[in-house]
Amino acid sequence: MRSSKSRSRSKSSRNSNRNVGNIVNRVFDSSGPEGKVRGTPQQIIDKYTQLARDAQLGNDRVAAENFQQHAEHYLRMLSQAQREQDARREQQERENRERQAERDRERAARQEREAAQPARQAADAIIDPGSAEQPDVVDHSVEEDSGLVETPEAKAEKPKRVSKPRKPRAPRKPAAEDAAEAPKDTPPAPEAPEAAE
């Protein structure tokens, strides 16, 4: 059978290897000379310093020293945890600054590429005009393209069009105005005589 000392030693070694986590807000049970003190490290430190003052006032130097040692233990533990937190925070801030600087460099490089791209395309077009798309040549001499092949006979038969200048048209009056202006005294049109049977 194992002794209780070996169990407690292995338990404490496991706790020391374990990540301390957030000790600042963690609640501890401290077994002091006058019983258990429960609370966060800062609360335990305050309690033990108060007990040490009370012991000094009561002229009990041994109890006062004992309470001060307990308070000092939790003070060391708290300061170590705060140093670790500060180191982690500084590491995270450094990593964040590095990531932000990398993003800024990437953004600047991307903007530089985007700004240089139209200039590069314009330079390519100026340097090598043969590589650019060429327009189709259109023959405007043929008025209409019917898709048929034009023979020499059809060309001879086709009279040349001479365009005359057209007269400008007079604007049309609306139908309501036409009816109003029509002469009202005109006799009705003669009816056709009926055929005799």
197 residues of the chain, pLDDT tens digit each: 455 555 555 555 455 444 555 777 788 888 777 778 888 888 999 999 999 999 999 999 999 999 999 999 999 998 998 899 899 999 999 999 999 999 999 999 998 888 877 766 766 656 555 666 766 766 555 555 566 777 777 666 666 666 677 777 777 777 665 555 555 555 555 565 555 54
Kindly state whether residue 2 falls inside one of the protein's structural domains: no
Is 96 among the domain residues? yes
Residue 55 inside a domain? The answer is: yes
- Token digits for 80? 């170590």
Is-above-0.85 flag for pTM?
A: no
Domain annotation covers residue 47: yes
- For residue 43, count CB atoms less than 10 angstroms from its CB and return exposed for 0-12, middle for 13-18, buried for 19 or more: middle
Would you say residue 115 lies in a domain? yes
Q: Which domain holds residue 115?
A: 23-124
- Domain membership of residue 129 (yes or no) is no
Please tell me the total count of domains within the chain: 1
Number of helices (H) and strands (E) in the chain: give both, helices first. 5, 2
